[in-house]
């Protein structure tokens, strides 16, 4: 009962960790059992191998089915039991090892991307602006930072809607930059080439705000 209680707590608190441990444990046991069977079924004098050799070939067969030739060099002289065992190792191993590991890693990557997109990751920043909640005034503050001479980083702490807020910030910044630069370009049209280039370099508004 204690083990069952502990396991249920771990599943509830750390489901990903439990799944990873189960994947590793199952595959270790599967490889060990397969290696033991293959080493015991090897033909005396031709394909005799110890447990560790069999374990190595088991792993290589799982990763690359073509490596079965290292165990079964001649199908005509190899026993049916050994042949079927190797084929079973390849099929089961591809599902429980390759498939499970790829699926687990894919899930981790997707979860990381979702958390990062939702703003649920830890940030290591300095000299930044923190905005609590979001409203029209907060949007004006972020827009005003465009006129700063330094690079600005804004972190908006909200309970929900971080994706929409980030898009709202990006849209407002883009529209403000386009509006300001439209007037700058219009004023520079009558200038000579070098005067225009110098004027645009000094007065053109750029995006110096990063929103988190």
At 45-61, the pLDDT tens digits run 435 567 777 777 777 77
Transcribe the chain into DSSP letters.
Answer: -HHHHHHHHHHHH-HHHHHHHHHHHHHHHHHHHHHHHHHHHSPTTTS---HHHHHHHHHHHHH-GGGGGGT-S-TTTS-HHHHHHHHHHHHHHIIIIIIHHHHHHHHHHHHHHHHHHTT-S----SS-EEEES--HHHHHHHHHGGG-SS-EEEEEE-SS-HHHHHHHHHHHHHHHHHHHHHHHHHHHTTS-HHHHHHHHHHH-----EEE-
Q: How confident is the model at residue 79 (pLDDT cuts 50, 70, 90)?
A: low
Instruction: Extract long-range pairs of 64-69: CB within 8 Å, 24+ residues apart.
Output: 65/90, 65/94
In terms of domains, do 92 and 147 share one?
Answer: no
pTM (whole model) above 0.85: no
Beta carbons within 8 Å of 166's beta carbon, 6+ residues apart: 119, 156, 211, 212
- pLDDT at site 194: 86
Last residue of a domain, one of 88, 117, 146: 117
Examine residue 123 and state whether it is found in any structural domain, yes or no. Answer: no
In terms of domains, do 134 and 93 share one?
Answer: no
Signed CA dihedral, 48, 49, 55, 56: sign only: negative
Burial-class residue 196 by CB neighbours within 10 Å (0-12, 13-18, 19+).
middle
In terms of domains, do 198 and 93 share one?
Answer: no
In terms of domains, do 110 and 56 share one?
Answer: yes
In terms of domains, do 95 and 183 share one?
Answer: no
Query: Average pLDDT in the 111-122 region?
Result: 67
Examine residue 66 and state whether it is found in any structural domain, yes or no. Answer: yes
Domain count, the chain: 2
In terms of domains, do 111 and 87 share one?
Answer: yes
In terms of domains, do 105 and 169 share one?
Answer: no
Examine residue 141 and state whether it is found in any structural domain, yes or no. Answer: yes
> Is pLDDT of 135 > 70?
yes
> Is pLDDT of 31 > 70?
yes
- The listed range with the strongest mean pLDDT (27-36, 141-150, 170-179) is 170-179
- pLDDT at site 45: 42
Examine residue 136 and state whether it is found in any structural domain, yes or no. Answer: yes
**For the segment 176-205, what is each residue's pLDDT rounded down to a tens digit?**
888 888 888 888 888 888 888 888 888 888
> Is pLDDT of 165 > 70?
yes
182 within 8 A of 125, measured Cβ to Cβ? no
Examine residue 124 and state whether it is found in any structural domain, yes or no. Answer: no
- pLDDT at site 2: 65
Q: How confident is the model at residue 124 (pLDDT cuts 50, 70, 90)?
A: low
Last residue of a domain, one of 117, 149, 171: 117
Q: Which domain holds residue 49?
A: 2-117
Q: How confident is the model at residue 89 (pLDDT cuts 50, 70, 90)?
A: confident
In terms of domains, do 185 and 84 share one?
Answer: no
The CATH number that applies at residue 88 is 1.10.287
> Is pLDDT of 29 > 80?
yes
In terms of domains, do 111 and 135 share one?
Answer: no
18 within 8 A of 10, measured Cβ to Cβ? yes
Last residue of a domain, one of 117, 149, 179: 117
């Amino acid at each position: 009962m204690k083990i069952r209680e502990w396991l249920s707590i771990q599943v509830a608190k750390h489901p990903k960790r439990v799944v990873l441990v189960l994947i590793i444990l199952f595959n270790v046991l599967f490889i060990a059992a397969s290696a033991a069977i293959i080493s015991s079924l090897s033909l005396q004098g031709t394909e005799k191998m110890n447990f560790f050799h069999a374990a190595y070939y088991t792993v290589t067969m799982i990763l690359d089915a073509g490596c079965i030739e290292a165990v079964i060099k001649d199908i005509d002289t190899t026993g049916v039991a050994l042949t079927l065992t190797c084929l079973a190792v390849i099929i089961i191993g591809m599902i429980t090892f390759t498939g499970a590991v790829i699926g687990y890693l894919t899930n981790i990557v997707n979860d990381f991307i979702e958390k990062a997109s939702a703003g649920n990751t830890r940030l290591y920043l300095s000299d930044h602006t923190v905005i609590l909640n979001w409203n029209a005034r907060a949007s004006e503050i972020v827009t005003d930072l465009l006129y700063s001479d330094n690079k600005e980083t804004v972190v908006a702490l909200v309970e929900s809607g971080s994706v929409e807020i980030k898009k709202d910030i990006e849209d407002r910044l883009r529209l403000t930059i386009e509006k300001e630069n439209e007037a700058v370009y219009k004023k520079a049209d009558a200038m000579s080439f070098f005067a225009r280039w110098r004027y645009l370099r000094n007065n053109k508004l750029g995006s110096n705000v990063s929103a988190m």
